[in-house]
Homo-oligomer: A and B are copies of this chain.
Amino acid sequence: MEEYSEKQLSILTVAERLFADQGFHGTSVRDIAQEADVNIAMISYYFGSKDKLLESIFKYRMRASQRFIQDLLVNDSLKPLDKIYAMIDRFLNKMLGEQNFQCIMSREQLNSEQSPVRDLIWELKREMLGLMQPIVTDAQEAGIFHKDVDIVMLMTSLFGTIHQIIPAQKLLRNDPEFQNLTEEEFKENLKQRVSIHLKKLFKAILTHEF
């Protein structure tokens, strides 16, 4: 719960980027120290070890995710489908806003050996699911959403699609279709496209109509 100094935050940010780009084992503490412009020993001094540094990144981002979830008490006056739409956009915004961290999550969730980090990932996913679930079941009981909906699979497609889009960005960027756009325009363009796609997906599955 302690605050991080500017220097500590610099290390966290650089480490997050390098872990995302080259993987945890593909990044040395010397790489991190050099890019963050600090002495190698400072990393152990502040975070204890390289492993603990990764854990710190996770705790830091997870705390933000917890706040994000608490703020997700969607407007009750909205129709169920609009609640879903609002959630999709906020998930999308969140995940595209912390792409480096999402890359690390993509990687770490593949690790077979039990790591403290992997458990946190699935806990987070369960929480996200727990947010979507009641909205769907309420609407089902009200006869608004269809009965046989595999909400787990639907959320899997949601996360899976976004996790695929993140590395795909770098390649789509080179398409002639997007060449004349600024970086900002491109990102907004793509986000819109993913948003429309995911909303179509959810609407189709939940309501059986367009």
Name the CB-closest residue of B to A207. B204
Chain A, range 108-149, C-beta contacts under 8 Å to B:
109-113, 122
Neighbouring B residues of A153 by C-beta, 8 Å: 161, 193-194, 197
Q: Are A150 and B20 in contact (CB under 8 A)?
A: no
How close is A197's CB to chain B, nearest CB, in angstroms? 4
Neighbouring B residues of A20 by C-beta, 8 Å: 110, 112
Neighbouring B residues of A113 by C-beta, 8 Å: 21-22
How close is A150's CB to chain B, nearest CB, in angstroms? 5
Q: Are B165 and A111 in contact (CB under 8 A)?
A: no
Name the CB-closest residue of B to A209. B208
A194 CA to B157 CA, complexed, in Å: 10
- A interface majority secondary structure: helix
A120 CA to B25 CA, complexed, in Å: 23
How many copies are assembled?
2
A44 at the interface (CB under 8 A from B): no
A164 at the interface (CB under 8 A from B): yes
Q: Are A164 and B171 in contact (CB under 8 A)?
A: no
A97 at the interface (CB under 8 A from B): no
Neighbouring B residues of A196 by C-beta, 8 Å: 150
Q: Which of A107, A110, A197 gathers most chain B CB within 10 Å? A: A110
Chain A, range 84-113, C-beta contacts under 8 Å to B:
103, 106-107, 109-113
A210 at the interface (CB under 8 A from B): yes
Q: A157-B201, A204-B204, A208-B210 are in contact. List 19 more A-B contacts (CB 8 A).
A: A21-B112, A23-B23, A23-B107, A23-B111, A25-B26, A106-B106, A107-B110, A112-B170, A150-B193, A150-B196, A154-B197, A156-B164, A157-B197, A159-B164, A160-B161, A160-B164, A161-B161, A200-B205, A201-B205
Q: Chain A residues in contact with chain B, CB under 8 A?
A: 20-26, 103, 106-107, 109-113, 122, 150, 153-154, 156-157, 159-165, 167-168, 170-171, 193-194, 196-197, 200-201, 204-205, 208-210
